[in-house]
Amino acid sequence: MNNILIGNIISLLGSSLMILAGIVKRKNTIVKMQCAQFSLMAAAQMVLGGFTGVIANIVSLVRNLFCLRFELTLTWKLVFISVQSVLSVIFNNHGAVGYLPLVAVVIFTWFLDTKSDMTFKLVLTITQAMWLVYDAVIKNYVGIAFDTAALAADIIGIIRLRKEEP
Protein backbone atom coordinates (compact mmCIF):
# COMPACT_ATOMS: atom_id res chain seq x y z
CA MET A 1 0.00 0.00 0.00
CA ASN A 2 1.22 3.50 -0.66
CA ASN A 3 1.58 6.23 1.93
CA ILE A 4 -1.43 8.23 0.76
CA LEU A 5 -3.75 5.24 1.21
CA ILE A 6 -2.24 4.25 4.58
CA GLY A 7 -2.35 7.85 5.85
CA ASN A 8 -5.99 8.21 4.80
CA ILE A 9 -6.99 4.94 6.49
CA ILE A 10 -5.40 6.14 9.75
CA SER A 11 -7.07 9.54 9.26
CA LEU A 12 -10.45 7.80 8.90
CA LEU A 13 -9.96 6.16 12.30
CA GLY A 14 -8.98 9.49 13.89
CA SER A 15 -11.82 11.37 12.21
CA SER A 16 -14.29 8.73 13.38
CA LEU A 17 -13.18 9.40 16.97
CA MET A 18 -13.79 13.11 16.37
CA ILE A 19 -17.40 12.33 15.43
CA LEU A 20 -17.86 9.99 18.40
CA ALA A 21 -16.46 12.64 20.76
CA GLY A 22 -19.19 14.97 19.54
CA ILE A 23 -21.83 12.52 20.76
CA VAL A 24 -20.35 12.01 24.24
CA LYS A 25 -21.68 14.24 27.04
CA ARG A 26 -18.94 14.20 29.70
CA LYS A 27 -16.08 16.64 29.22
CA ASN A 28 -13.40 14.29 30.60
CA THR A 29 -14.49 11.51 28.25
CA ILE A 30 -14.52 13.94 25.32
CA VAL A 31 -11.00 15.13 26.18
CA LYS A 32 -9.76 11.52 26.44
CA MET A 33 -11.32 10.68 23.07
CA GLN A 34 -9.70 13.78 21.60
CA CYS A 35 -6.36 12.53 22.89
CA ALA A 36 -6.81 9.26 20.99
CA GLN A 37 -7.95 11.25 17.95
CA PHE A 38 -4.90 13.54 18.11
CA SER A 39 -2.63 10.48 18.31
CA LEU A 40 -4.19 8.91 15.22
CA MET A 41 -4.22 12.19 13.29
CA ALA A 42 -0.56 12.76 14.14
CA ALA A 43 0.24 9.27 12.84
CA ALA A 44 -1.76 9.92 9.64
CA GLN A 45 -0.02 13.23 9.06
CA MET A 46 3.39 11.66 9.68
CA VAL A 47 2.67 9.05 7.00
CA LEU A 48 1.42 11.80 4.64
CA GLY A 49 4.50 13.97 5.30
CA GLY A 50 2.71 16.80 7.10
CA PHE A 51 5.17 17.45 9.90
CA THR A 52 3.63 20.67 11.25
CA GLY A 53 0.32 18.81 11.46
CA VAL A 54 2.08 16.13 13.50
CA ILE A 55 3.45 18.80 15.83
CA ALA A 56 0.05 20.51 16.16
CA ASN A 57 -1.63 17.24 17.10
CA ILE A 58 1.06 16.18 19.56
CA VAL A 59 1.05 19.57 21.28
CA SER A 60 -2.78 19.42 21.40
CA LEU A 61 -2.55 15.93 22.88
CA VAL A 62 -0.15 17.09 25.60
CA ARG A 63 -2.29 20.20 26.24
CA ASN A 64 -5.41 18.07 26.68
CA LEU A 65 -3.64 15.63 29.01
CA PHE A 66 -2.42 18.64 30.99
CA CYS A 67 -5.98 20.05 31.16
CA LEU A 68 -7.28 16.78 32.62
CA ARG A 69 -5.19 17.44 35.74
CA PHE A 70 -4.39 21.15 35.83
CA GLU A 71 -5.84 24.53 34.95
CA LEU A 72 -4.80 25.98 31.60
CA THR A 73 -3.54 29.34 32.88
CA LEU A 74 -2.19 32.14 30.70
CA THR A 75 1.35 31.03 31.50
CA TRP A 76 0.63 27.46 30.37
CA LYS A 77 -1.13 28.67 27.23
CA LEU A 78 2.00 30.63 26.36
CA VAL A 79 4.21 27.61 27.09
CA PHE A 80 2.19 25.37 24.75
CA ILE A 81 2.03 28.07 22.07
CA SER A 82 5.80 28.70 22.33
CA VAL A 83 6.72 25.03 22.10
CA GLN A 84 4.51 24.52 19.08
CA SER A 85 5.79 27.69 17.41
CA VAL A 86 9.45 26.75 17.77
CA LEU A 87 8.92 23.17 16.59
CA SER A 88 6.75 24.27 13.66
CA VAL A 89 9.38 26.72 12.45
CA ILE A 90 12.06 24.04 12.67
CA PHE A 91 10.11 21.23 10.97
CA ASN A 92 7.84 23.05 8.51
CA ASN A 93 8.16 21.36 5.12
CA HIS A 94 5.23 22.99 3.28
CA GLY A 95 6.05 26.70 3.13
CA ALA A 96 3.34 29.15 4.18
CA VAL A 97 0.64 26.44 4.17
CA GLY A 98 2.75 24.47 6.65
CA TYR A 99 2.10 27.16 9.24
CA LEU A 100 -1.70 26.72 9.11
CA PRO A 101 -1.74 23.97 11.78
CA LEU A 102 0.36 26.22 14.02
CA VAL A 103 -1.95 29.19 13.56
CA ALA A 104 -5.06 27.02 14.00
CA VAL A 105 -3.89 25.45 17.26
CA VAL A 106 -2.60 28.76 18.62
CA ILE A 107 -5.97 30.41 17.96
CA PHE A 108 -7.85 27.44 19.42
CA THR A 109 -5.64 27.29 22.51
CA TRP A 110 -5.93 31.03 23.09
CA PHE A 111 -9.74 30.99 22.94
CA LEU A 112 -10.24 27.61 24.62
CA ASP A 113 -11.58 29.22 27.78
CA THR A 114 -13.91 31.75 26.13
CA LYS A 115 -17.33 32.02 27.72
CA SER A 116 -18.99 33.15 24.46
CA ASP A 117 -20.61 30.39 22.42
CA MET A 118 -20.46 32.61 19.33
CA THR A 119 -16.76 33.32 19.76
CA PHE A 120 -16.04 29.63 20.23
CA LYS A 121 -18.06 28.68 17.12
CA LEU A 122 -16.24 31.34 15.08
CA VAL A 123 -12.89 30.02 16.34
CA LEU A 124 -13.88 26.48 15.38
CA THR A 125 -14.95 27.63 11.92
CA ILE A 126 -11.80 29.63 11.22
CA THR A 127 -9.44 26.93 12.49
CA GLN A 128 -11.34 24.17 10.66
CA ALA A 129 -10.93 26.10 7.40
CA MET A 130 -7.17 26.21 8.03
CA TRP A 131 -7.08 22.44 8.53
CA LEU A 132 -9.09 21.97 5.34
CA VAL A 133 -6.46 23.79 3.28
CA TYR A 134 -3.60 21.95 5.02
CA ASP A 135 -5.26 18.56 4.51
CA ALA A 136 -5.66 19.32 0.80
CA VAL A 137 -1.94 20.05 0.50
CA ILE A 138 -0.85 16.82 2.23
CA LYS A 139 -3.47 14.77 0.31
CA ASN A 140 -5.46 13.82 3.39
CA TYR A 141 -8.66 13.19 1.44
CA VAL A 142 -10.52 11.75 4.42
CA GLY A 143 -9.51 14.84 6.39
CA ILE A 144 -10.88 17.07 3.62
CA ALA A 145 -14.25 15.32 3.78
CA PHE A 146 -14.48 15.53 7.57
CA ASP A 147 -13.20 19.14 7.59
CA THR A 148 -15.88 20.09 5.06
CA ALA A 149 -18.62 18.42 7.11
CA ALA A 150 -17.35 20.08 10.30
CA LEU A 151 -17.25 23.48 8.57
CA ALA A 152 -20.84 23.04 7.39
CA ALA A 153 -21.92 22.09 10.93
CA ASP A 154 -20.05 25.08 12.37
CA ILE A 155 -21.70 27.48 9.94
CA ILE A 156 -25.13 26.04 10.76
CA GLY A 157 -24.31 26.46 14.46
CA ILE A 158 -23.34 30.11 13.91
CA ILE A 159 -26.58 30.78 12.03
CA ARG A 160 -28.60 29.15 14.82
CA LEU A 161 -26.74 31.17 17.48
CA ARG A 162 -27.34 34.42 15.58
CA LYS A 163 -31.08 33.68 15.42
CA GLU A 164 -31.10 33.24 19.21
CA GLU A 165 -29.43 36.62 19.82
CA PRO A 166 -31.74 39.39 21.01
d(CA 16, CA 145): 12
Query: Please, what is the average pLDDT of the chain?
Result: 90
Return the pLDDT at 25: 67
When divided into structural domains, the chain yields a total of 1
pLDDT in tens, 119-154: 888 998 999 999 999 999 999 999 999 999 888 888
User: For 47-74, what is the HEC assignment?
Assistant: HHCCHHHHHHHHHHHHHHHHHHHCCCCH
Percent of the chain with pLDDT over 90: 63
Return the pLDDT at 53: 94
Burial class (CB in 10 A: 0-12, 13-18, 19+), 135: buried
d(CA 140, CA 8): 6
Residue 1 clears pLDDT 80, i.e. is over it? no
Burial class (CB in 10 A: 0-12, 13-18, 19+), 45: buried
Give the residue-averaged pLDDT of 102-106: 95
d(CA 11, CA 140): 7
Residue-range definition of the domain harbouring residue 80 = 3-164
pTM: 0.88
d(CA 104, CA 124): 9
Residue 60 clears pLDDT 70, i.e. is over it? yes
pLDDT in tens, 73-96: 999 999 999 999 999 999 999 999
Rounded to the nearest angstrom, the gap between the alpha carbon of residue 129 and the centroid of all alpha carbons in its chain is 11
